[in-house]
Structure 1
């Protein structure tokens, strides 16, 4: 066979294409990151300090105890978000992309046998899906509950108003992250400035609150309240939820805008607000403040502030929603989930996408949570176990990347990672203790997603083995056809197949029924790289068997949406004259039937078949013109 390769894309252009982020758009990207990435962690002050104060009646009745709780929040933010995520995790990007599956791909490429790494990646991705259904529910509910301070008679309207807001939030997702972030960025900028200023005002009234910067207060609190230490840690964890979305949304904006937004505005304003809440409690007394976040504002400002908080919490949900889109797209490309529709919503930002099926499922589950729990206090028990699980998985995968990809000495890896793992382990254990109080919700959601991924992976493996046994080796078929050439017709036929070695089923059935060949026959296989994007000069490989048959392998990155006509147009650089109007695409449409003698239990076979039937049509997924497609049905018993 003659192999042809192409070139012509400069390194600079390839780098720009891979990352998808234009340097000249830094201010816009930073503003967008402020609105999308930090919405979740930016609204944590609404409920985090309040829940920490309420872990046990009388547990924070003295100044030292209030300072202790505040110190734990401040240092949790510093250690987890600033040190772990900003300084380490965001550097572990896979060609500009972040998230558990991206980190898994990076770690797996440096390990010979990475089955356990794949399992960790699947678990981390599933846990993030569990988090994604909790965050919008608790964020919006906690803000709308501020209405109760203004008009107690509206308490019964909190849940209906929350439902309307959530429906509106998911309805605008189709317009894309770029358009949404243009509106969200300035609003969140105003939100963070308001948090910082309101906190600073109360710090001036009680500057002793700054003593909480001393971590000894936090350590002392845990020692003297050892019997409720895990409950306290679980409440403190609410202050750092959203850090996991920071990494998942890396591909939407890039590392630099995310880092700038954190240090310039987000981190300082969060610290000022938490210190301000602590100062307000110390100044007015613990018993007089059951909701310091809202009570620390004057009456005349309360209504506009509740409205601003409501808008901010709607925006807070955006971080996990966009993160879920990115994670689902990666899972599909890595064959962890069946095909789903992926719509790109930006001409300049390659990572900004919208997935209608994921959007609809998220909305339904979030609404069910709001209607079931009814309050942010009840939902706080369900919040945390999925997020802390994601952070724990991220820490383990980061250790592998440090060791195998960054070539760190094992001692240095342990020195950095062990403290993070101990901290993440403490957070996970604390949240796991709330499993019966609501923590089971995200845990069950994560287990269901992980189980579906496992069924899909094993089902695909079983299907591949089954079809490979039934297929004819491609080289054997080509050799026989070259000796006894059938009748040929003008044009090009492209046969899609996932098996590089075997002859496509559609080709065999076409020969059986039509007994003709086209002038040019292309055996096309689409592969997914462990890189997020593949440069044009590495995307196409053409092997010529003879004048009749060509083998074409197209490789897409796991963050790219496969577009076969565009990819084949690149083949013109290789000398292949591709004309879409004289080309027919032959696809095999498999009708799957379960068998008691299959490789999986019968009920799992039925789940896999159900997933396959509901997958997005290959014609739509690969962007093939419907008028050029011929589908040939086959029945496969698995």
Structure 2
């Protein structure tokens, strides 16, 4: 709790860290937002005049105000889960309220991952394209691919060292944005009229291209979700205070670009207003700074994707994958499979679209889905906090209308690249949804029995010397939530399949709780000295290294004299040598004869393909394979009652 409070305190270091971690994505949006809007205007044959420029700028300013400032900075940051943020942290806070909430959570999570593929591609490409202002013949694609490849290669070594430089560099970036903007704003103060929301309403109401323009405007707020996702790294107050500075510099820069557009109404489509307001002597410096800012934005998205997947694995929304911890820094994780998936996706996007101007169509559509999902989950969270119903209704109407308008605007870009994002998001959705539904199907067929009925048999089996000893300490992982129950498959494995004699039988149960960093355990002596159950309560951000956790508990129990793990073999017992441990994992497979619908059989078939590609049970639980026996059991037992036979007379 003290860590959470100290993190929330405003400090110079905290403000600098939040600049480096939180604002990379939203901070690089001036590179491409106005270019996207006015290329659309140019293509439609409209003249670039003060009505369109002031209207577009007003839309940007009020989108940043309504969407980023009010929805995320003021409202959503309140939904912190013991100091942690992000769509799965939010889902963990509300998931007990309704089962259907998994749908927006999964859609939002998949859209964020799809965004993790588009963000590095568009930001790095746009930054490097600035070189073409001075060197028109320079080849951008090889430079972009080299930077992206290098960025993903260094992930495995941890980024804590580089991370310390992010804050000062992003401070320099935002200061440069503000200075560049002011140099043009002072040339035409009438641009400040854009602060009036009237111009935004007028543009939306009167311009025939309003929807398409909104699709471009949306690019200014694409990094808003990162504010919430990085809550755990920076603390709410540091994010809120640093946002004042960030928002001011962003708006000033947009206004400066607006002045340049008014001065050059017939500008060439290939020019980027952002680089046109940079004085020529500083162009190369600005390209370098923009590239570093783009790399920082990409790094934030990559790190966010790793966190997202690790949470999805713990919440049973994603197949078990290898997760590494490259440094001792809290929250610093590396997921190899996702790293190379994102890397391949980014390079494919760059090669497919070739120019950042073509990527703008793919960008925005995915994150729009995340915004809608967050709106739904935040509304449910507000209900849990007993916020008056009329306030929640107003929240839903305002943000539902706003985000659906943006969605309509983004859908106009569907054929111009938006379909790519939707394909990526849909592919990720099939993985998450199948993994979630298959678990529900499996749980339906898990049969539990009263464990007390088997106490006498287990006690006698442990003493029965006619049965060869299987192991001194025999451990089963159980999914039974109550100590009175046990899966019938465990009893079948223990007593019938191959009777397993052991000195002590252990049942280990892992319960993933809705708090992020909980590490609790409870021990129940079901048959004193013979059958012991350990229940772990682990937060959704805690690594489930069952082997280490189990051994830690055993050490505590031995130290307290609650259990004796000395080997019962006479020769070893004399020397007080600890007995051996063996884990038994039961792996389910789908028998050909089963009572599943076509939809369920399809889901299960996909699940078993994903299971083959994912981490094995023993590796995902951190178990040493030399101490583990994996037994295959059918998901659905076929009994004689399921088969009809006619006996013919002799």
What is the TM-score normalised by the length of structure 2? 0.87
Q: Is the 8 A contact 1:127 1:390 kept in 2?
A: yes
**Cα distance in 1 for residues equivalent to 2:308 and 2:565:** 35
**Cα distance in 2 for residues equivalent to 1:304 and 1:176:** 27
**Cα distance in 2 for residues equivalent to 1:626 and 1:121:** 34
**Cα distance in 1 for residues equivalent to 2:488 and 2:329:** 37
Q: Is the 8 A contact 2:181 2:256 kept in 1?
A: yes
Number of the residue aligned with 1:12: none
Structure 2 vs 1, CA of residues 277 and 596 (structure 1 numbering), >3 Å: closer, same or farther? farther
Number of the residue aligned with 1:474: 451
Residue from 2, 11, 21 that aligns with 1:36: 21
**Cα distance in 2 for residues equivalent to 1:319 and 1:624:** 32
Residue from 108, 113, 128 that aligns with 1:124: 108
Q: Is the 8 A contact 1:53 1:60 kept in 2?
A: no
Structure 2 vs 1, CA of residues 551 and 378 (structure 1 numbering), >3 Å: closer, same or farther? same
Number of the residue aligned with 1:633: 631
Of the structure 1 ranges 584-593 and 309-318, higher mean CA displacement relative to structure 2 is found in 584-593
- SS of the aligned residue for 1:353 comes to coil
Number of the residue aligned with 1:487: 464
Q: Is the 8 A contact 2:521 2:534 kept in 1?
A: no
Of the structure 1 ranges 338-347 and 571-580, higher mean CA displacement relative to structure 2 is found in 571-580
- SS of the aligned residue for 1:196 comes to helix
Confirm or deny that 1:621 pairs with 2:610.
no
Structure 2 vs 1, CA of residues 570 and 208 (structure 1 numbering), >3 Å: closer, same or farther? farther
Number of the residue aligned with 1:241: 222
**Cα distance in 2 for residues equivalent to 1:370 and 1:433:** 21
- SS of the aligned residue for 1:624 comes to coil
**Cα distance in 2 for residues equivalent to 1:505 and 1:252:** 43
Of the structure 1 ranges 522-531 and 338-347, higher mean CA displacement relative to structure 2 is found in 338-347
Number of the residue aligned with 1:149: 133
Deviations 1:349-404 (A, max 9, x none): 2x33211111111111111111111111111111111111110111111111111x
Structure 2 vs 1, CA of residues 510 and 539 (structure 1 numbering), >3 Å: closer, same or farther? closer
Deviations 1:198-251 (A, max 9, x none): 1111112222211211111121122221x2110011010011111112212223
- SS of the aligned residue for 1:493 comes to strand
Number of the residue aligned with 2:276: 295
Number of the residue aligned with 2:438: 459
**Cα distance in 1 for residues equivalent to 2:604 and 2:504:** 38
Q: Is the 8 A contact 1:50 1:291 kept in 2?
A: yes
Structure 2 vs 1, CA of residues 572 and 143 (structure 1 numbering), >3 Å: closer, same or farther? same
Structure 2 vs 1, CA of residues 261 and 176 (structure 1 numbering), >3 Å: closer, same or farther? farther
Structure 2 vs 1, CA of residues 68 and 550 (structure 1 numbering), >3 Å: closer, same or farther? same
Unaligned 5+ residue runs, structure 2? 567-577, 637-650
Residue from 267, 286, 309 that aligns with 1:305: 286
Of the structure 1 ranges 92-101 and 228-237, higher mean CA displacement relative to structure 2 is found in 92-101
Residue from 211, 229, 232 that aligns with 2:213: 232
Displacement of 1:195 after TM fit? 0.8
The correspondence of residues 22-421 of structure 1 with structure 2, limited to 5 A, is: 22=7, 26-57=11-42, 58-59=45-46, 61-109=48-96, 111=97, 114-154=98-138, 157-225=139-207, 227-263=208-244, 265-287=245-267, 290-349=271-330, 351-403=331-383, 405-421=384-400
Instruction: Calculate the aligned-residue CA RMSD, in Å.
Output: 2.6
Residue-pair matches, total: 609
Confirm or deny that 1:533 pairs with 2:517.
yes
**Cα distance in 2 for residues equivalent to 1:517 and 1:178:** 49
**Cα distance in 2 for residues equivalent to 1:78 and 1:455:** 38
Displacement of 1:23 after TM fit? 6.3
**Cα distance in 2 for residues equivalent to 1:459 and 1:633:** 20
Displacement of 1:148 after TM fit? 1.4
**Cα distance in 2 for residues equivalent to 1:632 and 1:20:** 45
Displacement of 1:418 after TM fit? 2.0
**Cα distance in 2 for residues equivalent to 1:166 and 1:205:** 38
Number of the residue aligned with 1:10: none
Number of the residue aligned with 1:442: 421
Q: Is the 8 A contact 1:595 1:637 kept in 2?
A: no
Unaligned 5+ residue runs, structure 1? 1-14
Greater relative CO, 1 or 2 (CA 8 Å, sep 6+) = 1
Displacement of 1:496 after TM fit? 1.5
Structure 2 vs 1, CA of residues 607 and 288 (structure 1 numbering), >3 Å: closer, same or farther? closer
Q: Is the 8 A contact 2:184 2:259 kept in 1?
A: yes
Structure 2 vs 1, CA of residues 473 and 267 (structure 1 numbering), >3 Å: closer, same or farther? same
- SS of the aligned residue for 2:40 comes to coil
Deviations 1:30-87 (A, max 9, x none): 3333222211111000010111122222535222321111111111111111111000
Displacement of 1:512 after TM fit? 5.2
**Cα distance in 2 for residues equivalent to 1:158 and 1:619:** 46
Displacement of 1:552 after TM fit? 1.2
Of the structure 1 ranges 559-568 and 91-100, higher mean CA displacement relative to structure 2 is found in 559-568
Q: Is the 8 A contact 2:8 2:234 kept in 1?
A: no
Structure 2 vs 1, CA of residues 139 and 637 (structure 1 numbering), >3 Å: closer, same or farther? same
What is the TM-score normalised by the length of structure 1? 0.89
